[in-house]
Structure 1
């Protein structure tokens, strides 16, 4: 039985979007069942804009929330791990096997039942859940839209949608720790974690009920992330 949920949000130069992200996260965690504690950590990673200020304002007045400013040269995997360490500290009264770690991105808005759906899948026996993502705006060209639909269809498998997004990932803390967390990975940290969980015999699950709406931009922060994929689909 999960008794605590920790949400980690890495953010670099996302002052325009992080406020909406955090308001959606707060709405979602406040809808968790009574008795489930929650914590939120934003890692403002080497920001040159007011991301950290906006995040602090959005989280003001709530308990067990923190905004960490990071100036070190860390990989995205290490940034996410830093956030995990802090929410685990905030929820230290709860053992790892009863703690769910949720991950999203600062350019993403989660749905009101996002946290509850992840929690429900864990109650059904999942150690890790890869949720679904919708784009906030579709690719601009018809060719790119067709290619994107093809990408989604090729990923689909009998057990679910087949996609893994750092913007929508839930992992029980004991499973996360057993495979070493995200690690010092510059990109693809979400897929790497998922592969290690699967290879380690943990119960992984794709779930379309746990949904987020993520940015459809073609210039993003991760060199091999969703924005880079969308940009490549637009090439004639």
Structure 2
């Protein structure tokens, strides 16, 4: 069995699209019918995220941590207890490609670090899109780490003790721990996901926060040269 774990903090508006995409990936012919368990970890949710997740057929658990590292860890703990051999992680505001899981598995690695695309730059506008295109490596051999596009074997995950209880960069800490034990890590652009470029982000050091910092730096530089 494979497992997909999605942490969510008040994601009622976005998670439906995420879970529909995950469901499509779970049915990809290349998986040859292997069962896929989808777990949504409700972290201090006060909206209708739970109802959307249940309607989509996901298994839900709840934590009151407001901490993505803890949320991912709890989802992984349940998946392992239920017999998952592979743990795939994405985010509630992210849409995975139909062959996402298949591409992760086909790389025959202990872990897979994928890249992200952005669906709509919104208020960031064209300057940010150009900056991202110029500075982000969306190709095999990249060195990006995204919790929105990450997979790891159950065995490797357990060897390093899983996710640390970090409010951000929990994905980076996990991959660094895997590197330290000599795990085979595929830095691949084959498993595709598209995520949002929203200003209201959940993890203080995550992708959304990074975009805000880059945008603010650009604004300061533009003001200095005006």
Normalising by structure 1, report the TM-score: 0.85
Q: Aligned-pair distance for 1:116?
A: 0.4
Structure 2: state its 5+ residue gaps: 220-226
> Would you say 1:47 and 2:39 are equivalent positions?
no
Match 1:85 to one of 57, 77, 81: 77
Give the aligned partner of residue 198 of structure 1. 179
Match 2:202 to one of 221, 224, 227: 221
Judged with a 3 Å threshold, the aligned counterparts in structure 2 of structure 1 residues 74 and 177 are, in CA distance, closer, same or farther, namely: farther
Q: How large is the RMSD of aligned CA atoms in angstroms?
A: 1.8
Match 2:119 to one of 136, 146, 163: 136
Q: Secondary structure at the match of 2:188?
A: strand
Give the aligned partner of residue 62 of structure 1. none
CA contact (8 A) 1:166 1:190 kept: yes
CA contact (8 A) 1:131 1:168 kept: yes
Higher share of residues assigned strand? 1
Give the aligned partner of residue 115 of structure 1. 101
Q: Aligned-pair distance for 1:85?
A: 1.3
CA contact (8 A) 1:132 1:212 kept: yes
Q: Secondary structure at the match of 2:11?
A: coil
> Would you say 1:7 and 2:4 are equivalent positions?
yes
Give the aligned partner of residue 103 of structure 1. 89
CA contact (8 A) 2:27 2:33 kept: no
CA deviation vs aligned residue, 1:133-169 (integer Å, no higher than 9, x gap): 100113633432333234414xx79x61221100000
> Would you say 1:76 and 2:68 are equivalent positions?
yes
In 1, the alpha carbon distance for the partners of 2:97 and 2:31 equals 16
Structure 1: state its 5+ residue gaps: 60-64
> Would you say 1:208 and 2:207 are equivalent positions?
no
Aligned residues: 215
In 1, the alpha carbon distance for the partners of 2:70 and 2:11 equals 19
In 1, the alpha carbon distance for the partners of 2:168 and 2:54 equals 27
Structure 1 runs, 4 residues or longer, greater than 6 Å off: none
